[in-house]
Chain A
Amino acid sequence: MPGTQPAPQDILRAIDVHKSFGLTPALQGADFGVQPGEIVAIMGPSGSGKSTLLHCLAGIFPPDRGEIWFDGQRLDLLGEGERTALRRTSFGFVFQFGQLVPELTTADNVALPLLLGKVKRKEAYARATEWLDRLGLQGLGGRRTGELSGGQAQRVAIARALVGNPKVIFADEPTGSLDSLTSEQTMNLLVDTARQQHITVVLVTHDARVAAYAEREVMVRDGKVTMGNILEVTN
Chain B
Amino acid sequence: MSVPLALLGLLEREPSHGYDLKREYDSYFGRGKPLPFGQVYSTLARLARDGKIVAGDTEPGSGPDRKRYAITEDGRREVEAWLAEPIEPEPHLQTVLFIKVVLSLMLERDAQGYLDKQRAAHLSRMRELTELKRTGGVIEALLADHGLYHLEADLRWIETTSARLASLLALVNPLEHVHELEE
Contact among A184, A213, A227 for B116, CB-based, below 8 A: A227
- Bound-complex Cα distance A45 to B164 (A): 13
Instruction: Please determine whether A212 and B126 come into contact, CB atoms closer than 8 angstroms.
Output: yes
Main SS of the interface on chain B? helix
Question: Is the CB of A153 closer than 8 A to any CB of chain B?
Answer: no
Shortest CB distance A234–B (Å): 16
Instruction: Please determine whether A208 and B155 come into contact, CB atoms closer than 8 angstroms.
Output: yes
- CB under 8 Å from chain B, chain A span 199-235: 208-209, 211-215, 217, 219, 226-228
Main SS of the interface on chain A? mixed
Question: Is the CB of B123 closer than 8 A to any CB of chain A?
Answer: yes
Shortest CB distance B136–A (Å): 13
Known: A45-B159, A45-B163, A188-B134. A209 touches B126 (CB 8 A): yes
Q: For the side of the interface on A, what is the size category?
A: 10 to 19
Shortest CB distance A103–B (Å): 36
Count of inter-chain pairs, beta carbons less than 8 A:
35
Q: Chain B, 101-143, contact with A by CB distance < 8 Å: what is the 0/1 string?
A: 0000000000000001001101100110110011000000000
Q: List 23 A–B pairs whose Cβ atoms lie within 8 Å, in order of A's numbering.
A: A45-B163, A188-B134, A191-B134, A208-B122, A208-B126, A208-B151, A208-B155, A209-B126, A209-B152, A211-B123, A211-B126, A212-B123, A212-B126, A212-B127, A212-B148, A213-B127, A213-B130, A217-B120, A217-B123, A219-B116, A219-B119, A226-B116, A228-B120
